[in-house]
A and B are shown apart, each in its own frame.
Chain A
Amino acid sequence: MKTKLFLAVVTLGAVTFFTSCNKVPVGDIDLANAAVDSAKAVDAEHYAPEAFTALQDTLNAALQLVEEQKSKMFGNYTVVKEKLAYVASQASVVKEQAVVRKAEMKTESDTLFAELKSLIDENKTLISKAPKGKEGKAALEAIQAEISEIETTVNDATVLYNSENYFATVDKLKVAKEKAISIKEELSNAISKTKK
């Protein structure tokens, strides 16, 4: 009887020993994957690229560690759980970073759109004030063509803006703004020249 009891205790102990640390943290893995996906959903790949790549790397390393532990005789998932928890928490940080950066870029795009609109309007007003001589408008026509092209660029930028590609929008608008400023200077100089 004593022997049977002993054997039962030993077996139970062995089973507990083998199974206690051997559970794959499926819930933690799902949580970490979902967290990374949620960061991806807010375009973290574009708006926080370095942080997102690091996050993805950490997740990959954690998933690899899961398999490593699975391959072991006595898998221990304590470190894996820590890593997955870190991924989940870091994903929120990356997500926040991306959201902030995206909002910044959106605001910058909005500002540039407004600035360009005002610059284009200003340039159009300046064109009407610019010296035309008798009736020739050749030089002004060239400038008008440039303004038209800037307007086309603004339209292209609007398409990019609507598809939430704010980096490309800002790049396009910055270039157009610079050109609009140079036209404004050119026109202002021509006008001031005739006023002298």
Chain B
Amino acid sequence: MQNNKRFLLLLFFLCFLFTACGFIFYSFWPRPPVSLINKARETISEIKSVKSDVYCADIYKLALENYEKAMFLWKAENKKFAFSRSFDSVTYYSQLAIEKGNMAKNRSLELSTGLKWYLRNQIDSVKGQKDFFHAIFYRLPLPESIQRQNTKGFLLLHEAEIAYDNKKYKLSEEKLVSAKESISYTYSYAFNLLNDYFLNSQQWQDMARATIEKSYKKKCTAIVVDKFSRSCYVYSAGKLKYSFIVELGPNWMADKRMKGDKATPEGFYKVTKKIAKPNTRYHKALLINYPNDKDLEQFNRAKQQKIIPENAHIGNLIEIHGHGNQGADWTNGCVALKNEDMDIVYRESIVGTPVTIVGSLKPINEILLMPEME
């Protein structure tokens, strides 16, 4: 009985000791900042979803590093004896990770929204430049390297658009920068070419005006060819009667200097011969008096200055003829019209009809303002 009592007492004492120890252990057991680390992890996950690693990689990296440091320190503390653990540094780095994460999130949202807006505007702007290029410069005789550069720019622009649609704004930006570089280069090349071409603009307008006045005064037909707009205007007694689309030589931007340069001459000419089938391969033709005195003078001067080879020939047989509408500048310097149009021009003209060929009837500023060109 006495033994039983002692045993029960011991049992009670052990239970009490065990509970007391458990309570002390529990009270003093160091607790890690679980909710804070959870929040840090969630923040890291969240900022990745808003592509902070793309938009503000440096802040994202800082947030991630702090989270990883917190985790590393937590693991290190867990290896220690329970009561010597301290989670202060874990708390510190978790808080830092959250702070940097929030910063990265806000910055990413700000940047992605801004970039999205910027990209949309830039893509539209470059597309406008592309349309402008096609409308104004498409038919300029540009070298192959420029054509390729231009095509490359447009392909990159399209890639930038695809990336934009897929919400890959950084990639879109990269593509857009390359696209702009290519397109701007070709654009400025073409623009300079155009500027050089239009140096004689005022003279061309004066020549056209003089021809129309002549037609008015002499009550005769006069033909004015505008190389840039690919137009042939037929005036009768100073009034515009017809206008037709023409095709020229591939080197149409140049003033003809010599045989084989595939340039269409500029100047005052007149019809010297009317040629119909079977004497022409081109439906009907009006032969003009190229080279005139001015052309000869220019040719000889160029030869003296050694701008053209010594054995160069000035060329001849420049005509306004049919077989046009081929969709290209294909002649050797002649002016080609559609056969139906040529019938009219042929009918309206006589030997001696003035033919004035100019680079453009409009000044460059008007050309560049034109929204569309045929």
Assess A133 versus B328: contact at CB under 8 Å? Given A10-B14, A145-B148, A146-B147: yes
Interface of A with B (CB < 8 Å)?
Answer: 2-3, 6, 10, 53, 57, 60-61, 63-64, 67-68, 70-71, 73, 131-142, 144-146, 148-150, 152-153, 171-172, 174-176, 178-179, 190, 193-194
Would you call B249 an interface residue if the criterion is a C-beta within 8 Å of the partner chain's C-beta atoms?
Answer: yes
| Residue contact B31 to A71, C-beta cutoff 8 Å | yes
Closest to B149 in A: A149
Interface stretch, picked from B41-49, B189-197, B349-357, is B41-49
Interface residue from A53, A136, A172, A193 paired with B325 (Cβ < 8 Å) = A193
Cα(A123)–Cα(B345), bound, Å? 36
| Residue contact B78 to A138, C-beta cutoff 8 Å | no
* Category for how many chain B residues contact A: 35 or more
| Residue contact B155 to A140, C-beta cutoff 8 Å | no
Query: Closest Cβ of chain B: how far from A22's Cβ, in Å?
Result: 12
Cα(A22)–Cα(B7), bound, Å? 32
Interface of B with A (CB < 8 Å)?
Answer: 7, 10-11, 14, 25-26, 29-32, 34, 37-38, 41, 45, 48-49, 71, 74-75, 77-78, 82, 85, 87, 139, 141-142, 144, 147-148, 151-152, 154-155, 158-159, 162-163, 247, 249-250, 262, 323, 325-332, 336
| Residue contact B78 to A73, C-beta cutoff 8 Å | no
Knowing that A73-B29, A145-B148 touch, tell me 10 more A-B residue pairs with CB under 8 angstroms. A2-B7, A71-B30, A71-B31, A71-B87, A73-B82, A132-B326, A132-B328, A136-B329, A171-B159, A194-B326
Query: Closest Cβ of chain A: how far from B340's Cβ, in Å?
Result: 13
Cα(A149)–Cα(B151), bound, Å? 7
Which residues does chain A contribute within 8 Å of B148, judged by CB atoms? 145-146, 148-149, 152
Which residues does chain B contribute within 8 Å of A73, judged by CB atoms? 25-26, 29, 82
Cα(A4)–Cα(B16), bound, Å? 19
Closest to B336 in A: A133
